[in-house]
A and B are shown apart, each in its own frame.
Chain A
Amino acid sequence: MLDPAADLAAVHLKHVTFTYPFQEKPVLDDLNLDIRSGEFVLIMGPTGEGKSTLSLCLNGIIPHVLGGSLQGSIRVLGLDPSENEIAEMATKIGLVFQDADSQICNIFVREEVAFGAQNLLVPRETILERIKRVLHFVGLATQEDMPVFTLSGGEKQRLAIASVLAMEPSVVVFDEPTANLDPGGAKEVQALIRELKRNQITILVIEHDVANFIDLADRIVILHGGRVAYQGPPRQVYQQHGLDIRDRLGLRLPDVVYFALEAEKKGYHFETFPLTVEEVPLDYLKFQPASGQGTPASFATSLAESEPIIQVNHLCFHYPGGPTVLDDISFKVRRGEILAIIGPNGSGKSTLTSQFVGLNRPVSGEVNVCGLDAARATIKELAKRVGYVFQYPEHQFVADTVFEEMAFGLKWQGFPESEVNKRAMEMLEAFQLDGFKDRHPFALSRGQKRLLSVASMLVMKPEIFILDEPTTGQDLRNLDQIMAFIQDLNRQGLTIILITHDMGLVAQHAHSVLVLEKGRIAFHGTPWELFARELEIEDKYELSVPAVYKLHRQIRQRYPWLPPVSSPTELASYLIKKG
């Protein structure tokens, strides 16, 4: 029997249950969802709760390619993906994935855009016209004949979007489209998605960090346990269920939403629940001075007296025969400091920190780490003092069990076996990994892998701890656990260096920030000094100022005594309790 709702909706799912082959638990479990034509829907949910699976069901990849057991009814623009060819669905719905490098399958820009239309046997002249039109739309018109590898991360993602748009779909699904991009690239893609919204295309965006899309969304859908936990207009969903979404589901909330929820806890009630800084009713909110703990910014002042643990003087570096990567870099890191190194991709962040563990050596200048000359010290000597956690945990796994992974570095440094076993077990327990000690590291979940990569470095009791992009692929709960642990160690004197694009992380944890731009230091100071240069940050360095800072600046115009804060919760702590 025909379902009238199915005919009206652009996307219609009714009692959809899907189980992957060789698995017992369904990923989607009695999922019901209708999306209207031209609607912009944000889909959120904890990792592994079926968000990406949902998108693959819509274009027929599930079940045609990936198999599995699919039950219930799905209609996309009136077509059932499981009964129609993928080629037929490809003209209705397009998918843009998180990793543009893996999505792009051609070597040149032009042929990547043409790829889908060529497969559909669209006439040559039509394809050539579409290439021009779509590349102009995504702002890559001048790169038509360029090889893909010459594009930046943001340009690659725009190309991936162009290649989908060239097939002229009515519905486009974006699966974490900005997760792998630096802030500049993310802004490019966000602007493009905004433009698509203006063109009345039905858009589904799957995201962890929704702050940049929240003002566009007609509806927000929260998936949990393979079904819709909450859905509705963002204001309504966040106001009614925000605390549950954050605390029980472990999802990240936009700073403003977080602040507004804290304000409601203090008795304030918003007739229009704010989603952006501009929407916060400042006349309504009242603040008073409060005795709080020191913020990272104020703590930085006390750090000025502590001894330098890293000293970099006039460091220059280039790979053999290559261009300059680091150009006349000089700065100090003090013991107990949390330094964030930020900057666009390719600005030299990882190359700089690689000098601290001896992976690269200065071409000229000096690098002194814990009293060792990094140009001469062995990797072993440096690694004893510096723990380095790479962006992808799998890259650093070297053993066949979780326990051996933890013990590996200790054995390398020559600790006695009893000490190795004691320390390894203590650290496994601290990170709640002791129950998995005999498992292969690659068999852990994504979050557990990150915990293991951090724990296997902390077990060495380093003096300096470097974290390269700690937020990659991590949900809020996991990230909070890691940051709480290392911040505790920081209070005991551990020096921490964060390489990150996440300005929220910088605002919340860093004492100081180093901005690199084309291998040179563009800024070195406190986060608040950096955020104060808002226009310069956004235009020149292509970074984003955290919403909590923007909100704080607005409030401070009325309450000049308001000290710097590091999080929305801290900002809300200055609110006068109502009633």
Chain B
Amino acid sequence: MLFVYQPGNSFMHRMDTVSKFIWMMTMTAIVVVATRAIENLIIFLWLLSIGTVLSQFPLALMVKRILPLTAVSIWLLVIILIFYPRGMTPLATIGPFHLTFEGLDYGLTLFLRVLCLGTVSIIYALTTSPRRMINEMIEIGHLPYRWAYALYAALRFVPLLQTEAMNIMNAHAVRGAAEKKSSLLDFFKPIMRLTLPLLTGGIRRVQITAIAMDSRAFGAYPKRTNIDPVVAPLYGRVFMAVHLMIFVVFLIWHIFFVKGSLISPIVT
């Protein structure tokens, strides 16, 4: 499970979840601004060090979590290396494909970008208790608790729906509904067949949950009693603010001192 919370008491675990959320969004913005492979490599190493030192996860665990993302990013690297249209400096020729240094650089950039975005999300998910996240989104972020609970209830349904989808696909398989993929329509039919029972089952569940919540006075008052005291150490806000400043500096540097646009297009 890529994104399941791992309890702990590290720097990142103790930080308030709202500051951590803003930090995650800031890192995402920095990754988007970084247009060269070397920049993304530095960001990736920085995130890896946050994962291992500030979150206290073993390097092996981080690698294990990041590994599934490499499958997607390697595919991206190969495609861009082969089909990059603006390459000028030859690197090698394999059959009909002329590989270039520019293609390699851009492919590596996207490869590392996917890894960076994945790693920052993994750090957030692994160090953030869903309970604390919702609580602090309400108490610190002033998110209306009805909205926060909609998100929370949805999180609870994910494993239930996964199990139900698997059961439905098995039931369809023994009826022969998983076969025949001779046309595009046949390809989409199993998805359409899965959707109806999953949707009706989901609606039924949501109705029961809504009734069960209403039966326990959900939404009776504008506020609820908070039973978990909010702990928001100052260092969390400092950590977030430092990254925000880095982002602003990095953005200005890119706008005024780095040649080319912020996000290099694949086709000109």
Contacts of B94 in A (CB 8 A): none
B172 interface hit (Cβ, 8 Å): yes
Nearest Cβ on chain B to A510's Cβ, whole angstroms: 23
In angstroms, Cα B216 to Cα A59, docked, is 10
Whether A103 touches B212, Cβ cut-off 8 Å, given contacts A394-B200, A395-B168, is: yes
Residue of B201, B208, B213 touching A394 (CB-CB under 8 A): B201
Q: Is the CB of B179 within 8 A of A380?
A: yes
Contact present for B201 and A398 (CB under 8 Å): no
Closest B residue, CB atoms, query A131 = B227
**Cα A86 to Cα B149 with chains together (Å):** 19
Which A182-218 residues have C-beta < 8 A from chain B? none
Interface: B225 (CB within 8 A): yes
> From residue A127, how far is it (CB to closest CB) to chain B in Å?
5
Chain A positions 112-136 with a Cβ under 8 Å from a chain B Cβ: 114-124, 127-128
What is the interface residue range for chain A against chain B? 35 or more
Partner of B215, one of A61, A383, A386, A397: A61
Q: Which secondary structure dominates where chain A touches chain B?
A: helix
Q: Is A56 an interface residue (CB 8 A)?
A: yes
Say yes or no: A61 contacts B214, CB within 8 Å: yes
User: In this assembly, does B247 line the interface, its C-beta being within 8 Å of a C-beta of chain A?
Assistant: no
Q: Would you give the shortest CB distance from A167 to chain B, in whole angstroms?
A: 6
- What B residues does A65 contact at CB under 8 A? 210-211, 214
**Residues of chain B with a CB closer than 8 A to A396's CB:** 171-172, 174-175
Q: A97-B208, A442-B196 are in contact. Are A395 and B214 (CB under 8 A)?
A: no
In the bound assembly, the distance between CA atoms of A148 and B152 in angstroms comes to 13
Distance in Å: Cβ of A154 to nearest Cβ of chain B: 17
State the CA gap A127–B213 with chains docked (Å). Answer: 17
B211 and A124: CB pair below 8 A? no
* B258 within 8 Å of A (CB atoms): no
Query: What is the bound-complex CA distance between A33 and B212, given in angstroms?
Result: 24
CB distance from A87 to the nearest CB of B (A): 3
Is A163 on the interface with B (CB-CB < 8 A)?
Answer: yes
- Select which of B175, B205, B208 is within 8 A of A412 by beta carbon: B175
Contacts of A397 on B, CB cut-off 8 Å? 196-197
Known: A87-B220, A97-B212, A103-B209. A114 touches B227 (CB 8 A): yes
Q: Contacts A118-B224, A119-B217, A395-B168 known; A409 to B130 CB distance under 8 Å? A: no
Chain A positions 417 through 430: 1 when the CB is less than 8 Å from some CB of chain B, otherwise 0: 00000000000000
B176–A56 contact, CB under 8 A?
A: no
Q: Are B175 and A383 in contact (CB under 8 A)?
A: yes
Asked if B176 and A409 sit within 8 Å, CB to CB, the answer is yes
Q: Evaluate contact between A105 and B149: CB separation under 8 angstroms.
A: yes
Kindly list chain A residues whose C-beta atoms are within 8 Å of the C-beta of B168.
395
Tell which of A102, A107, A122 touches B209, judged by Cβ atoms closer than 8 Å: A102
Contact of A167 among B167, B172, B175, B216 (CB under 8 A): B216
Tell me which of A102, A395, A408 contacts B197 (CB under 8 A). Answer: A395
Instruction: Give, as a whole number of angstroms, the nearest-CB distance from B163 to chain A.
Output: 10
Cβ of B191 under 8 Å from chain A: no
Closest chain B residue, CB of each to CB of A167: B216
With a cutoff of 8 Å between Cβ atoms, the chain A residues found around residue B155 in the complex are 107
**Chain B residue with minimal CB distance to A62?**
B211
Q: Which residues of A contact B223 (CB under 8 A)?
A: 121
Question: CB-nearest residue of chain A relative to B176?
Answer: A412
Contact flag A395-B171 (CB < 8 Å), given A61-B211, A119-B221: yes
A403 is an interface residue with CB less than 8 A from chain B:
no
- Taking the closest CB of chain A, its distance from the CB of B203, in whole angstroms, is 11
Contacts of B171 in A (CB 8 A): 388, 390, 395-396
Residue of chain B at shortest CB distance from A87:
B220
A79 nearest CB across to chain B (Å): 14
Beta-carbon nearest neighbor of A64 in chain B: B214
What's the Cα separation between A148 and B159 when bound, in Å?
Answer: 12
Is the C-beta of A9 less than 8 angstroms from some C-beta in chain B?
Answer: no
Smallest CB separation, A90 vs chain B (Å): 4
The answer to whether B175 touches A102, judged by C-beta atoms less than 8 angstroms apart, is no
Q: Contact: A99 with B208, CB < 8 Å? A: yes
B159 to chain A, nearest CB (A): 6
Complex Cα spacing A115 to B156, Å: 15
Please state if A121 and B172 are interface contacts (CB–CB under 8 Å).
no
B225 touches A86 (CB 8 A): no
A121 touches B197 (CB 8 A): no
Q: Pick from A106, A123, A163: contact of B156, CB below 8 A.
A: A106
**Nearest Cβ distance between residue B30 and chain A, in whole angstroms?**
31
Q: B216 is contacted by which of A119, A121, A412 (Cβ under 8 Å)?
A: A119
List residues of chain A with CB within 8 A of the CB of B248: none
A388 to B167, CA, bound (A): 12
The yes or no answer to A366 lying at the interface (CB within 8 A) is no
* B142 at interface, CB cutoff 8 A: no
Does A380 contact B131, Cβ atoms closer than 8 Å? no
Nearest chain A CB to B18 CB, angstrom units: 19
Query: In chain B, residues 211-268, which have Cβ atoms closer than 8 Å to a Cβ of chain A?
Result: 211-221, 223-227
Residues of A within 8 A of B (CB): 56, 59, 61, 64-66, 85-87, 90, 94-95, 97, 99, 101-108, 111, 114-124, 127-128, 148-149, 163-164, 167, 354, 357, 359, 379-380, 383, 386, 388, 390, 392, 394-398, 408-409, 412-413, 442, 456
Q: 21 A-B residue contacts at CB 8 Å?
A: A59-B215, A61-B214, A86-B220, A87-B217, A102-B205, A105-B156, A105-B212, A106-B152, A108-B131, A119-B221, A119-B224, A121-B223, A379-B176, A388-B171, A390-B167, A390-B170, A394-B200, A395-B164, A397-B197, A398-B175, A412-B176
